[in-house]
Structure 1
Amino acid sequence: MKKIWDNYSYALILLAVSVIFSLVAKAHLNNEEAYITVTIEEGQSLWEIAETYASEHHLSKNEFVSWVEKENGIVGERVFPGDELVIPVRDEYVEPTQIAGAER
């Protein structure tokens, strides 16, 4: 066993660190319950949503729109009525009346 450890210790340590990093990254990325989903209504834009939730997120409007585009696979700020978008507003910051109004 000591011979294996002596020959492959760096590889084993690297493997262990990689596995731990992967698990932590996956847990962080799969934390969808930390965000809310809104359904786009007729006439709404990403900029309007950014303004609506301005006090609940810590991003500029440009950063907010870019984040929403990236995470939802949107190209050129094009959203359509009925689209459901995940937005970077944590559940604990949003009052129930805001969620209900956004999910109509």
Structure 2
Amino acid sequence: MEKLTFSYIVSLFFVMTLGVFALIYTGEKEDLSNFEEVVINSGESIWTIAEKYEQKFGMDKIEFVQWVEEKNNLQTLVVKPGDKVVIPVEKNMRYNDHLLATE
């Protein structure tokens, strides 16, 4: 009887541990709705987009590319024309930059 009780306790502990790990790894997806989404054009890459925004917002290219890769769950940095990626530029920052340029 003691072996059976011990087996149940160990099994219960194992199942609970798996449940905790499942909850940790399947957390809610980060809300990226306040960041700009760009469509990749022919001849563009994540690096060329990073260069554009490095000039405007003083962002480091490597950090920009790593952010884009992580937040867009890219397995590779190769993108095709028509692909959409979220970039680390808040929507209001790009809008404000556009307003300043037109004034």
Structure 2 length-normalised TM: 0.58
Report if the CA contact (8 A) 2:53-2:59 is conserved: no
C-alpha separation in 1, matches of 2:63 and 2:77: 13
Q: Deviations over 1:61-94 (max 9, x none)?
A: 0011011011112223110111000111011111
- How many residue pairs were aligned? 71
The alignment-based identity, stated in percent, is 36
Structure 1-normalised TM-score? 0.57
Q: Point out the structure with max Rg over C-alpha.
A: 2
Give 5+ residue unaligned stretches, structure 1.
1-25, 99-104
The one-letter code of the counterpart of 2:88 is P
Which digits, 9 at most, give the CA deviation of each residue in 1:37-69, with x for residues without a partner?
00001110111100111223x641001101101
For 1:41 and 1:97, locate their aligned partners in 2 and report how far apart those are by CA, in whole Å. Answer: 21
- For structure 2, the 5+ residue unaligned runs are 1-27, 99-103
Alignment partner, residue 48 of structure 1: 48
CA distance in 1: counterparts of 2:51 and 2:62, whole angstroms: 11
Q: Distance in 1 between matches of 2:83 and 2:97?
A: 20
Q: CA deviation at 1:96?
A: 8.0
Higher RCO (CA < 8 A, seq sep 6+): 1
Return structure 1 stretches of 4+ with deviation > 6 angstroms: none
Q: CA RMSD in A?
A: 2.6
